[in-house]
């Protein structure tokens, strides 16, 4: 179960892990399974765990005053999930995170991250790289605010084609910040060309 994670770490760092470090990692990353629709985090809770997705698909979303869900992030295998704000600042989260497909996760508390993992060079290197990637990805997403619905969709198709296979259209629409009807029409128009 931890093999996928170890591979991921080695692919995201230049320093190899020692046998002792591998042991620490196997201890602090606790496996957890979620059935479809089960919550990983609910609004109002403090996000106690960050998780590496070994298998499955998840979504992070906000529910507005009218009860409408707004998808903030969609995540699949080999991605990490958490509400970083809540996880780091220990504040109640404004978001829900749940399983869209049955999931296998490896969960990590903030205390274990700061305590046992921060001494491992490979982990630090990986973390930096992930922060860089995250910053780059979100900068692009912010940049897409100025695009039309059609352009935003086209960009998503380019950037995350896997999403189209894994998530239904109304989730994709919500992720893009448009209505499901608009996305549906967009696609049928695009198909005509």
Positions that interact with a second copy (CB under 8 A): 62, 64, 70, 72, 83-85, 88-89, 94, 128, 131-132, 134-136, 138-143, 145-146, 174, 177
188 binds DNA (CB under 7 A): yes
Q: What are phi and psi of 50, to 5 degrees?
A: -100, 150
184 binds DNA (CB under 7 A): yes
Helix (H, G, I), strand (E, B) or coil at 34: strand
Q: Is 121 exposed, middle or buried (0-12, 13-18, 19+ CB in 10 A)?
A: middle
Query: Considering only residues 11-50, where is the footprint of DNA by CB under 7 A?
Result: 36
d(CA 123, CA 143): 30
Which sign does the torsion angle of CA 47, 48, 52, 56 carry? negative
Nearest approach, Cβ of 1 to DNA (angstroms)? 24
158 binds, among a second copy, DNA, none (CB under 5 to 8 A by kind): none
182 binds DNA (CB under 7 A): yes
149 binds, among DNA, a second copy, none (CB under 5 to 8 A by kind): DNA
Q: What are phi and psi of 108, to 5 degrees?
A: -140, 130
Tokens, residue 163: 């999403």
**Binding footprint of DNA on the chain (CB under 7 A):** 36, 148-150, 168-170, 177-182, 184-185, 187-188
């Amino acid at each position: 179960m931890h093999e996928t994670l170890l591979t991921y770490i080695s692919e995201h760092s230049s320093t190899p892990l020692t046998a002792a470090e591998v042991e620490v990692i196997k201890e602090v990353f606790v496996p957890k399974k979620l059935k479809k629709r089960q919550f990983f985090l609910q609004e109002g809770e403090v996000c106690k765990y960050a998780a590496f997705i070994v298998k499955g698909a998840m979504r992070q979303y906000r529910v507005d005053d009218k009860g409408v869900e707004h998808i903030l992030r969609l995540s699949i295998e080999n991605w990490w999930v958490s509400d970083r704000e809540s996880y780091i600042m220990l504040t109640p989260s404004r978001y829900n995170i749940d399983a869209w497909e049955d999931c296998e996760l490896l969960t990590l508390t903030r205390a274990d991250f700061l305590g046992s993992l921060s001494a491992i060079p490979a982990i630090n290197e990986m973390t930096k790289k992930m922060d860089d990637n995250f910053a780059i990805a979100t900068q692009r997403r912010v940049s897409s605010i100025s695009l039309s619905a059609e352009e935003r969709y086209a960009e998503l198709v380019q950037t995350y084609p896997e999403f189209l296979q894994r998530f239904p259209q109304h989730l994709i629409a919500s992720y893009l910040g448009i209505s499901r009807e608009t996305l549906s029409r967009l696609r049928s128009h695009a198909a005509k060309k």
